[in-house]
Structure 1
Amino acid sequence: MTTEQIDKCYEEIAQQIIEMIPEEWSTVKLYAESWPGYSTVYFYYDPVSNTQPILNLDIPDLFSVDPDDFILQKRQLRRTVLNLQQMFSEQEMETWTNFTFILNHDGTFKAEYGYEDLTELDPGEKREAWKAKYRIE
């Protein structure tokens, strides 16, 4: 796996997120979790016009976006994130179980990987711990 391949995947993730958000935003915090038989990908973004972060799953309810198109975009984002994980596996690198991608409106970003076993933890507790760590209120 080359740095170029990883950078390309990061760019795809960023572009897909940007296309899903129907308003001006300042920061996006994406969380992904995956192991055999399970995966989840979601993000929160900070709208410029509001102080409350918005969960991507709430976008179709809050804005006039086509729900079917949104589902397709959400699936494509998930596939791209899981493709990143597959790159690690194919290169026999330690495969992450969770991934956080923080994207700023100016295009800068930060990627963090976790490798702990998450299979026995409660999904709601994991989400709340992640939100607390990244100051999503």
Structure 2
Amino acid sequence: MNDNKISSLYNSIAQIVVETIPEAWSKVYVYGEINEDVRTAFFFYYPESSEKPMHSHDIPSVFGVEKEEYKEKWRKLLDYLEELWYEFKNNNQEPWTNLTLIFNSEGELKIDYEYEDLSEADDYERRIIWKYKYLGRIPEDKDDREFLERYLQSFEEKENNNDQK
């Protein structure tokens, strides 16, 4: 696998995200999910003066950014993520099902690749779990909170069963 190509793609992903954010920021969490049939991505960022993350898809309405301009950047983000996915696949690496790319305004970068089968999972539920795992966000909605609690309990049970083996 070409490390220069991978590094360039990480930089391109970060750059298009930074270009999309219309204010000073401190930290960004990018979620990307790519496979043969699906391309999805979003990100949350922390404004420099806030503890509350801003969802990327809220940028047009909150900041008056033209929707078409936002969508163009979002499609570029998807293209870069897909290119990264194919770089893995075409070089006999196990293609990831989703990734989380975390970077801050100091230039530090961390990437978490996931390889779990997502075919049975619901997009909305995956987003609840991801927001909890990476942003520490507990859903306000009662049903969503109960879903998260059930998920965490089943996850803990699986971990305990694995520890006993």
TM-score (structure 2 length as normaliser): 0.80
Partner of 1:4: 4
Task: For residue 51 of structure 1, give the secondary structure of its aligned residue in structure 2.
Answer: coil
Alignment of 1:92 onto 2:99:
no
Query: Which protein has the bigger strand share?
Result: 1
Q: Which runs of 4+ in 1 moved over 4 A?
A: none
**Alpha-carbon distance in 2 for matches of 1:9, 1:20:** 17
Partner of 2:18: 18
What amino acid is aligned across from residue 70 of structure 2 in structure 1? F
Q: Percent identity?
A: 38
Give the CA RMSD over aligned residues.
1.0
Alignment of 1:40 onto 2:40:
yes
**Alpha-carbon distance in 2 for matches of 1:41, 1:24:** 21
What amino acid is aligned across from residue 85 of structure 1 in structure 2? W
On the 8 A contact 1:31/1:43 being kept in 2, the answer is yes
Unaligned segments of structure 1, at least 5 residues: none
**Alpha-carbon distance in 2 for matches of 1:125, 1:77:** 23
| Alpha-carbon offset, residue 135 of structure 1 | 2.3
1:57-68 → structure 2 map (5 Å cutoff): 57-68=57-68
**Alpha-carbon distance in 1 for matches of 2:114, 2:52:** 27
Alignment of 1:126 onto 2:126:
yes
Query: Which protein has the bigger helix share?
Result: 2
1:1-22 per-residue CA deviation (whole Å, 9 max, x = no partner) reads 2211111100101110100000
On the 8 A contact 1:29/1:44 being kept in 2, the answer is yes
| Alpha-carbon offset, residue 36 of structure 1 | 2.1
Higher relative contact order (CA 8 A, sep 6+): 1
Task: For residue 87 of structure 1, give the secondary structure of its aligned residue in structure 2.
Answer: helix
- Looking at CA atoms only, which structure, 1 or 2, has the larger radius of gyration? 2
